[in-house]
A and B are shown apart, each in its own frame.
Chain A
Amino acid sequence: SAVISQKPSRDICQRGTSLTIQCQVDSQVTMMFWYRQQPGQSLTLIATANQGSEATYESGFVIDKFPISRPNLTFSTLTVSNMSPEDSSIYLCSGNRGGTGELFFGEGSRLTVL
């Protein structure tokens, strides 16, 4: 399986601040994605992180709120900007292994906004 490490694993933040989540994947991964899982809900795709270019965002998610970078093949960051309590969720980084297309996930970053 592909190795995906994510940090921080959890954080408690104040309203109005921003938090950057980092994700490191191994070289088997070709595509990288960011998901959000709100309390008691399933996963929702935020965006596909593209190497060296702007991320591809899903409907309902915008770059100003969730800027994403992927400077190289194996590293990506997601920033949650100007946070409000509604942003309290688990944010998950994932990677798609080329060939089979199997998807692997990091341990997630549990964010609580007060």
Chain B
Amino acid sequence: QKEVEQNSGPLSVPEGAIASLNCTYSDRGSQSFFWYRQYSGKSPELIMFIYSNGDKEDGRFTAQLNKASQYVSLLIRDSQPSDSATYLCAAGMYSGGGADGLTFGKGTHLIIQP
């Protein structure tokens, strides 16, 4: 059974610091990886996706993927109080052009302290 594991937290980070969120996945066949942000009572909002090993940067966010270790991470630089939310890691079977449902982790609750 495909599983995605995350530390539920809460992870508390001071404003302006770097927040580091981690995720592992069980299915080596997974090809696509996503980070979503979810505020309480709301649906997930896509932050980034990554398909290839290495780093991918988008503004204050950097996603890192290591397929050998089955490990995905998200770094948030210059953390802001508005970044406080639950961050969901998800894995999919296709990297472009495919269509399958995602396997989600339970999420990490991030708190940015002013």
A and B co-occur in one complex? no
Which B residues fall within an 8 A CB radius of A? none
Which A residues fall within an 8 A CB radius of B? none
